[in-house]
Amino acid sequence: MLGLGLDGFDRTERLSLALTVVFLVTFAVTIRVDSVWLWLVWGIAMVTLSGAALVLSNYGEPPPSD
């Protein structure tokens, strides 16, 4: 996958990694701009994005049977 060595990760681990990267990049931009409205939009977007990631993680593949 893009030569980044992410082949060993499963779908939920890649989703968590992507969510972390998006969070950190947008957080840095929001701190730099320092606007009240941007903080509000950023907070709403992160809650929505985190919730969507949780739904995708839980309703994706069924757990492996033992």
Torsion of CA 15, 18, 19, 22, to 10 degrees: -160
Q: What 8-state DSSP symbol labels residue 62?
A: P
Domain count of the chain?
1
Domain of residue 53: give its range.
11-58
User: What's the distance, Cα to Cα, between the start and end of the chain in Å?
Assistant: 29
Confidence at residue 61, expressed as pLDDT on a 0 to 100 scale:
66
For the entire predicted model, the pTM comes to 0.71
Per-residue pLDDT tens for 20-60?
999 999 999 999 999 999 999 999 999 999 998 888 888 76
Please report whether residue 25 resides in a domain.
yes
Rounded Cα distance between 26 and 19, Å, is 11
Which of 40, 53, 46, 9 has its CA nearest to residue 25? 46
Please report whether residue 47 resides in a domain.
yes
Confidence at residue 35, expressed as pLDDT on a 0 to 100 scale:
94
Confidence at residue 45, expressed as pLDDT on a 0 to 100 scale:
96
Which of 50, 48, 45 has its CA nearest to residue 18? 50
What confidence tier does 19 reach under pLDDT thresholds 50, 70, 90?
Answer: very high
Please report whether residue 65 resides in a domain.
no
